[in-house]
Structure 1
Amino acid sequence: MKADPTARLRGKTRPAAAFAALGETGLRRIEDNLATLLQRDEEEDVHALRVAVRYLRAVLWIFGPLLPRGMTERWKDDLGALADAAGDVRDWDVFLAETMQPALDRQPGDPILHAVIDTARVRRQLARETMLAGLDQHRNDTLPALHRDLAHLPVHTDDGSDALRPFARKRMQKARKTLRQRKRRARHDGLRALHRQRIAGKRLRYAIEALRPVLPEQKATRLHRKLVKGQGKLGSVVDDSVARRLMAECLDVPPEVQDAAPIAA
């Protein structure tokens, strides 16, 4: 990855110019991760790609209100598809590393565990082949189109604030408000609402990282630390749900039986 684009951000930077800098560096980061991922098979490379896409999606959310509507929608769709392309492989990687391996460590001779792991690895390999085909298309088609969008972006576009600092603080307030709302809903609405809360927390976390030079330092650092800690707890709940689904797939449990089984909160 090239030099940190936040080093060029100042309070008086025009918001669209900030998006152009962050967007270009974010795309290059994704391209670097794609190149690595297409050359070798390491689970951390899949995770690194998804983090890079997640970061750029947060940047898009921050600056979305001042971008041309068609551009915002196209970027949202393209980045979502890019994240989804690696989603299944990441799920299998987490399942094998955090569910099956600890179980095997406790019962190394269990034939059922070995059979489930073998099935999971086969399905993970199939998911990887599908992922690579999709990512190759994104590298050749999607990413060049996003670069062209940035090259033609009117850098004087803004929301009336003219400067990055007031714009950034307004968007941070919006992100925090959304997170609070989703926390309240997650207390009553179950796993789907919890997942939406997790997404809102990640968005706020990466927004802080992108905008750190124009945010109050101590407050931003404290909030970022709190978000990282909270994301770990929410991630465990969501990962447990995914592990339950993948285990059922490996055991060929019919979907109607899966749906009828209770889900731990």
Structure 2
Amino acid sequence: MVATARSSSSVRAAVRLTLMAGWLGFCVIPHLLMRPFGPSPWPRRLLRGIGWIAGARVETTGPKPTARTLIVSNHVSWLDIPMLAGATDCAFVAKDGLKGHPIMRWLCEQNGTVFVDRDRKASVGDQLSDMERALRSPKPLTLFPEGTVSDGHGLLPFRSSLLKLAEDPPVPLTVQPVAIDYRGAAPEFGWPQGETGQANFVRLLGRKGTVSVTLHFLAPLAPGQDRKALTRQSHAAVAAALAPSGVAPARV
């Protein structure tokens, strides 16, 4: 099903935001009670619920990633995060700008987020070490190698720096491409140039109806390759999966 353009309502956005806040309040207490005794299922439940309240209706194809899997995915919208986490219980590699928002930082930390500064090449070694520690947990780890969300019209080039971890992994590691497919509706959910982050968030919350999204879990890549080969193969696999929905691939 291809979604058509829908107007955004501030009232609808406020209702959804209120529901999200209520769902967060419901999830926090059992999470804090369970956390001292081992991994808590509540971050995954929280994020899955956030995606559902926002209108995402998720289907999946292919083998779902397991522990010690590095997911390499395209990135269209903030909605990608609750959808992927809800489907796989994955943690994420995220820009360290989120660390400046106390509530967002705490929520990210509860789900095992690895914060990176992509503009500081000198810190890549520390970032790879943080990713290695995250991959030793029971969760898969998701990397968005485009480095940013797109406007939904095309697939951006993938950056290879953080895939260096997979060249000679310290633990057995699987690299699995994943394509987030909005089935032709990606331009409605992307982040167009000139739109602020807050405006994008409110616009998507105010969107009428739901959207059907398919998470294509693609074939894992052969291990032992260099990071540039893994980057090219990941990009090609994601581009091929998105082509039927009209997403144009970038040259790499």
Q: TM-score scaled to structure 1, two decimals?
A: 0.30
Q: TM-score scaled to structure 2, two decimals?
A: 0.31
Structure with bigger helix share is 1
Q: Max radius of gyration: which structure?
A: 1
